[in-house]
Amino acid sequence: MAAGILVLGAVLGGLAWRWEGRASTAAAIRDASGVRWIIDAGHGGEDGGAVSPGGVVESRINLEIARRVDGIFGFCGEPALMLRTEDISLHDPEAVSLREKKASDLHNRAGTASSYPEATLLSVHQNMFQQSRYRGTQVFYAPTQGSQELAQVIQGVVRESLQPDNSRESKPIPDTVYLMNHIPNRAVLVECGFLSNPGEEGLLQDPNYQTKLAAAIAAGCLVGGSASS
């Protein structure tokens, strides 16, 4: 984690001049619980999410990056809650088929997020496409207040700190993504990279790259976190 902290420090230091005004107004958005961030490692258990042609499963990479973000938030004193900390699905015991389990899992994630309406949801996923040439992080935002601004900040920090050639812009989340459209929270979904791109698939499995990416995402959250407060 030391490398991550160094990266985080460098990222925050590099951006500090630009965001000075905002950072100084970082009055915390807090509900009674104090939870400010809900970290959602996408998929889990039987639902592995995307699987690369080489057999790399999305859900595990999501968890690795989510854990690192959680560690950095902890180091920075930001109260965060992880929706899952293991390779499991969060469905109710009554769910039997994979379809039922997936629906129940997403319903439960939305329920937990909804019970902390003042917290920001950060959903971590990996992308996949038929053609292998596409790569790069892309941040999507929920249709809730402040989400677009936060997504723009995270997209910018990832570009400036890790992916200078990434010209992607943050985008509204499609309305087919259940969780992001059924919560009151400010929310962003980070597609960290493309498992369908062999180069990026390799990077996404590298613990050092996972830490750098987590640091950039966390830095974007912390810098952008004060924007709506």
Binding site for Zn ion (CB under 5 A): 42, 49, 125
CA–CA gap between residue 155 and residue 121 (Å, rounded): 16
> SS in 3 state form for 138-191?
EEEECCCCCHHHHHHHHHHHHHHHCCCCCCCCCEECCCCCHHHHCCCCCEEEEE
From the CB of 90, what's the least distance to Zn ion, in Å? Answer: 14
Please, what is the minimum distance in Å from the beta carbon of residue 73 to Zn ion? 21
Closest separation in Å from C-beta 196 to Zn ion: 13
What letter would DSSP give residue 86? Answer: S
Q: Which is nearer to Zn ion, 138 or 161 (CB)?
A: 138
Nearer to Zn ion, 78 or 105 (CB): 105
Within 10 Å of residue 163's Cβ, how many Cβ atoms? Answer: 18
Q: Which is nearer to Zn ion, 49 or 225 (CB)?
A: 49
SS3 192: strand
Cβ-proximal residue to Zn ion, closest one: 125
**47 or 70: CB nearest Zn ion:** 47
Find the shortest distance in angstroms from Cβ 128 to Zn ion: 8
